Structure 1
């Protein structure tokens, strides 16, 4: 990038390969700076050496290219001579550094909700990996597939942050069943990882994996706040639409959420808002393996489940928030989605 490694949509385009790189939210460097200071190192000097200004805000539109983060972590390891520097960073990463995603994660109803939210919206925090959640009878797995080569410290910092955060919002006794990391084991050994995760840790795997006891993941969290989670989910989607301007699914989803309460959420209206014809919109969605009706149904279902978890919202209000003309239409649609009536779903929760 010419003159700077920070990138904000709307700025002059980056130069060279960095313009095409996945990016990470700039506020991540706040935690790195604090880890440097805690290690007795002048963080301003190290950040400046790789072209990063001190104290980037948590604005998710301020981004850093993946290669910049790799250079920064390499400089940090060199200056601290600490192969476990990424684990130090995990102590200083806070949910607030992830903007709306952090607040939504903190307000999740269960750790399973936490993981599903991370799966859906992780790219607001970083585009360098994709996250997927899978579950069996007894276990829940959180899998990390790298999209680009990453420093070992990036993996260390994020895995450590996740487990520390889960303990913060659940209980300090919470532990994963096992941890698998893509990074090689440091020559100095695995003890700091085993101490942090309090579980077996395997290195040099094809992808990162955190495996949890399912019973821990479905336990209700004391800080659960469905209303706050929903508000921040909507904020996340609006930011993703700005970040992923070429992602038609994100753009359509944002417009569906915007138009639903008016009761006038049609393919034609959404296409017009996205400055394209209905035919072009349908073609773009078809190329992504979906359709406007499918996205409308998926978005309505997700919002409906979220709204029904908010005890203060009556079903009649939810009906109109989702753009249905009456509760009977909403009830029929919800039964088609979940097999339950809205009332039964709320009581089951």
Structure 2
């Protein structure tokens, strides 16, 4: 008797990655980028401790810390400071899985980007995206959330390159950013960045962001297929229903978004995750935490990132984290780390991050 084959789980069918991992899809440009320098991917995978089959399927999961280390190692071996850009320029929005395919066929650019932001955790957990708008400008902000040893600059470059390619795909060939902000050290040569993004690039900023005219958000997605979108949306609804994040993970992601928007409260976080404040508090209590505790942790993590990787004055770091004064921030940071922000920066900053960057 022929044994019955096990039906794949939703996670297997749609290549959903777990917390702490990312799909291999956004990293599929690694092999080609290394090949341009006469290097093979295999030895680097061995050195990092990844299987040779890691990139056989775009849906395979890769541990975030190993992905960050792999990109840093590739940058080191190629001696190419903009290696992350080279990897990202070949990544299509469809390589982001079903989340990217739904966005690709959205009714308008704003809907496509908001869908990506809402569901990107199904693709991976390296970045938290936030879309903010004024009357004239839109900012697509990307916050790297992985805590890993090693250089995170190529990971930031890769994420920003993929984001730029995604917006360009949704808008069509006539789109161009107004400005690019990068929360990383300035490289020796800025030309590859201005050439790739087609806009002025500022380094050492408080966050990573693509700034572009807000009017593009109302434009129809270039080449979208409404019929295909409806089919994909039904599939995505099944995936999202089955892959709910823990309350603490949802709240952490919401806090990053709220900090970027300049509004941090239980009500704002609850609204971001679609829960009543009492329901959110109850679920967080069940996970032995609270919005207040998570806010402290996220502020500390972001503060360390900005102090180590950018030349932002401490006053601007405090303002980014919505502290009312440098004194309040300094006292909070000392309680977390046992050091003042300035002392911590001296002991942990990366080479080149202390000098103020300019356009």
Deviation track 1:116-159 (CA, whole Å, cap 9, x = no partner) reads 11210111222122111121111111122232347111111121
Segments of structure 2 that go 5 or more residues without pairing to the other structure are: 1-9, 13-17, 251-275, 285-359
For 1:206 and 1:245, locate their aligned partners in 2 and report how far apart those are by CA, in whole Å. Answer: 27
Asked if structure 2 preserves the Cα contact closer than 8 Å seen for 1:95 and 1:106, the reply is yes
Query: Hey, what does 2:175 align to over in structure 1?
Result: 174
Deviation track 1:93-134 (CA, whole Å, cap 9, x = no partner) reads 122321101211211222212211121011122212211112
Change (3 A) 1:73 1:194: same
* SS of residue in 2 equivalent to 1:209: strand
**Which structure is higher in RCO with an 8 Å CA cutoff and minimum separation 6?**
2
For 2:247 and 2:160, locate their aligned partners in 1 and report how far apart those are by CA, in whole Å. Answer: 28
**1:155 paired to 2:153:** no
Q: Which is worse superposed, 117-126 or 230-239?
A: 230-239
For 2:49 and 2:239, locate their aligned partners in 1 and report how far apart those are by CA, in whole Å. Answer: 25
TM-score, structure 2 length as denominator?
A: 0.59
Query: Hey, what does 2:253 align to over in structure 1?
Result: none
Asked if structure 2 preserves the Cα contact closer than 8 Å seen for 1:25 and 1:124, the reply is no
Query: Hey, what does 1:217 align to over in structure 2?
Result: 217
Asked if structure 2 preserves the Cα contact closer than 8 Å seen for 1:31 and 1:93, the reply is yes
Aligned runs of 1:223-234 on 2, under 5 Å? 223-234=223-234
TM-score, structure 1 length as denominator?
A: 0.61
For 1:47 and 1:249, locate their aligned partners in 2 and report how far apart those are by CA, in whole Å. Answer: 29
Asked if structure 2 preserves the Cα contact closer than 8 Å seen for 1:36 and 1:43, the reply is yes
Segments of structure 1 that go 5 or more residues without pairing to the other structure are: 1-7, 11-19, 251-280, 290-349
Deviation track 1:134-185 (CA, whole Å, cap 9, x = no partner) reads 2111111112223234711111112112222333343323111111111111
Query: Hey, what does 2:34 align to over in structure 1?
Result: 36
Displacement after TM superposition at 1:44 (Å): 2.0
* SS of residue in 2 equivalent to 1:132: strand
Asked if structure 1 preserves the Cα contact closer than 8 Å seen for 2:44 and 2:73, the reply is yes
Aligned runs of 1:42-191 on 2, under 5 Å? 42-52=40-50, 53-54=52-53, 55-59=55-59, 62-149=60-147, 151-186=152-187, 188-191=188-191
* SS of residue in 2 equivalent to 1:205: coil
Query: Hey, what does 1:315 align to over in structure 2?
Result: none
| Paired positions, count | 240
For 2:283 and 2:223, locate their aligned partners in 1 and report how far apart those are by CA, in whole Å. Answer: 37
* SS of residue in 1 equivalent to 2:212: strand
Larger Rg: 1
Asked if structure 2 preserves the Cα contact closer than 8 Å seen for 1:144 and 1:207, the reply is yes
Query: Hey, what does 1:287 align to over in structure 2?
Result: 282
Asked if structure 2 preserves the Cα contact closer than 8 Å seen for 1:181 and 1:207, the reply is yes
